[in-house]
Amino acid sequence: MSDHSWIDDLDEIAVDIDLKLHPVHADPKAEVIIISDDYVKFRASKFHLTRTSQFFEDLIETVRHEEHQEESIHLEFPSTTIALFLDLAGVCDPYIPIVSTNRARSLLDFVEFTLSDGLIDTARSTLMEAAKHHPFELLVIASQGDDLDLAKHALRNITSSAFREEFILRVPFVEDTEYKIGSLKEYLLRLTPAYHLAILIRSCTLARYNRLITMTNGSILDLRYYPPITGPASPIVLIPPDSSSLRRIEEYREWY
C-alpha cells in the first residue's frame, strides 16, 4: 500500500468521525491541519511549524509538491500535548508551563518525535518542574529514555525524607520501622540495571555507607543494608548488570 493510499484511508475514516475543532488553534487562514489521536482538529501556522520542527518542515515540503491541496497530518498524540506544543511554537521566548507530570512527559516525547530541537530544553525543564515532588517517577522516566540529565535531577531530589515517604510503612505508637520491601522490589523492576545502581548508590549515600556495592558471583546482590532501604536480613537480589552498567558506577558517585 502506498503512502498516499494510507493517508487517503485515514482521511476517509476521519469523515466518519466527529472531529472537534480546537477552540484556540482554529485559524481558518492557517495552512496546516493536524488531527490528534483523540480526534481534535487543529489548524496551525506553517511558518511556526517549519521554524520549530524539522519533522514538520520535511513533511510540509514533501506535501507541497503533491497534487493534494490540503492534507491532514494524523499524529498519535493527545490534543492536550499538541495544543501545548503549538502554544510554545508560537512564541519568541518559550516559557515553562505548569502542567502535570504525565502531560510534561508527553510534551517531551512530542518535541523529540518532531525533532523540535529548540524546545527540547524547555520540555525537559517542564518535566523537571512537574515532577519536582515525584523524583522516583522522574527516575523511571529517565531510565526508560536513558536520559542522564533527568536522572541526575531526579536523584538529587531523592532525599532521606523522600525515601521514608516512599518505602517505609509507619505504624502509630510502634517504635520499630517496617519497610515496604515489596514496593521497593516492584519499583526496581521498573528501572533498567544501570538505574538500579543509581538508586541504590543514592540510598547508600544518604545512609553514609562507605561500602556501596557487594559483588557476589557476578551479580549485584546481598544488599543487607539497614535504613533507608532494606532493613535487617532483607536482601534484595537484582539481575546481573551489563558492562555498561558497571562502567557507570564511578560516574554515579560524582552526581551527588
Tens-place pLDDT, residues 32-83: 999 999 999 999 999 999 999 999 999 888 766 555 556 789 999 999 999 9
Structural domain including 235 reads: 156-253
CB 238 within 8 A of CB 196: yes
| Distant-in-sequence, close-in-space partners of 235: CB < 8 Å, separation ≥ 6 | 221, 222, 223, 224
Confidence of residue 187 (pLDDT cuts 50, 70, 90): confident
- Cell numbers that stand for 77 in this block: 498524540
Tens-place pLDDT, residues 7-26: 455 555 545 568 899 999 99
pLDDT at 9 (0 to 100) = 53
Domain boundary (96, 118, 148) is at: 96
pLDDT of 248 > 90? The answer is no
Percent of all residues in the chain with a pLDDT value above 70, rounded to a whole number: 63
E strands in 1-56: 20-26, 32-35, 40-44
Instruction: State how beta strands 215-216 and 72-74 pair.
Output: unpaired
The arithmetic mean of pLDDT across residues 139-163, rounded, is: 86
Number of domains comprising the chain:
2
Task: Establish if 146 belongs to a structural domain.
Answer: no
| Residue 17's CATH number | 3.30.710.10
Domain boundary (62, 96, 130) is at: 96
Confidence of residue 235 (pLDDT cuts 50, 70, 90): very low
